[in-house]
Amino acid sequence: MRTIRVGSRESRLAVIQSELVMEAIRASHPDIALELVTMKTTGDKILDRTLDKIGGKGLFVKELDAALLEGRADLTVHSCKDLPMDIDPQIPLAGFTRREDPRDALVLPQGVTELDERKPIGCASARRAVQLRELFPGMEVAPVRGNVLTRLRKLDEGQFSALVLAAAGLKRLGLEHRIARYFTVEEMIPAAGQGILALQSRAGEDLSYLSQVVDEEGARCAMAERAFVRRLDGGCSSPIAAHAQIVGNDILMTGLYVDEAGNTFRRRVTGPKDQGEALAVALADEMKEACPCPEK
C-alpha cells in the first residue's frame, strides 16, 4: 500500500485544513495510507514582531519545504494566502482546492455587541490595516500575531476592541458564531488566495491521487491573484490585495495597490477565464502606471 506523508503546521487550523485534504484523498483513493506530519515553523515561533520585520511569509513554509526536499513529507498543505510568491521548482505547486468563503470578518470580544473606540482593532496585515482605516476613520489599528486561537484569546482578554480574521479560517475551526460582521469583498478586498488551500509536492511525483482534491476554479482564481501580487513585487509588508471570481466563462479581477506615498488604488478588470493571469498582470501594470511615484 502506498503511503503519503502530509506535512502541516501544527496549529489547530493548519491540522484541520490538512485533514480536509486527507479526507478527500481517502474518499477517492482508499488504497492509499495517509500519515500526518506536523511541525512548528519559524513564523509560528517568533510572535513578538510583525512578519515584515522577521522575513515575511516564507517563514511559515520554510520547515515544510525542507521536509519535502528531504523526503520527510510527500505533500504539504498551506493556506494559499500565506504562501510566498516565489516557489522552489524542486517542490512545485501540486494544485489548489475549492475556495471556502473569501471574505474577512470582524470579531468582537465574547459577550460584546459594539466596538469600543478606546481600544484598537487588531489585524495581522498591512492590507487589512489600510482598508480598516478607511472603513473606521479615527480608530486605531494595531498589529496582532499568533494563530487564530491565540489572537482570539488576546481579544477576549481585553487587548483589542475587535479583530479582523479570515472567515474561512473561523468556519473551518467551527468558530463561525464569533463573527459579528462580514466585510464584502468590495469593502475589504481579500488577500490573494484567501479561502483556498495550496498543495505542494516534489517535482516528478505521481499526483493522480489528488484528482478529486484539486479544483479548476480555485486554481484559476489563485493563479490570477498571485500573478497580480507578484507583478507588483508584493510581500507580506505590502498593502496589496487581489480577488478573482469566475462568472460564467469570464473572470472578474479586483485589485488594490498602495504606493510608497500612501496613495490607494482600486481597479477591476473582466475577461476570458482562461486568460486570468495575463489579465491580472495587465491590471497590475495599469495600476502601477497610475501611481504618481517619483521613480517613474
* 70-91 tens-digit pLDDT: 999 999 999 999 898 889 999 9
Residue 296 placed within a domain: no
How many structural domains are present in the chain?
3
With cut-offs at 50, 70 and 90, classify the pLDDT of residue 55.
Answer: very low
203 lies in the same domain as 77: yes
Residue 64 placed within a domain: yes
- pLDDT at position 42 is 52
91 lies in the same domain as 47: yes
110 lies in the same domain as 176: yes
Task: Report how far residue 2's alpha carbon sits from residue 136's, in angstroms, rounded to the nearest whole number.
Answer: 53
- pLDDT at position 220 is 98
Looking at the predicted structure, is the pLDDT value of residue 50 above 70? no
* 129-171 tens-digit pLDDT: 999 999 999 999 999 988 899 999 999 999 999 999 999 999 9
The b-or-e profile of 37-68 (16+ CB within 10 A means b, else e) is bebebebbeeeeeebeebebbbbbbebbbebb
Q: In terms of residue numbers, what domain contains 178? A: 104-182
Among 158, 182, 206, residue at a domain's last position: 182
78 lies in the same domain as 201: yes
Residue 187 placed within a domain: no
Q: Which of 44, 65, 74, 82 is catalytic?
A: 82
68 lies in the same domain as 176: no
With cut-offs at 50, 70 and 90, classify the pLDDT of residue 260.
Answer: confident
Residue 9 placed within a domain: yes
Residue 89 placed within a domain: yes
* 13-40 tens-digit pLDDT: 999 999 999 999 999 999 999 999 999 7
73 lies in the same domain as 157: no
Active site residue 82: yes
230 lies in the same domain as 266: yes
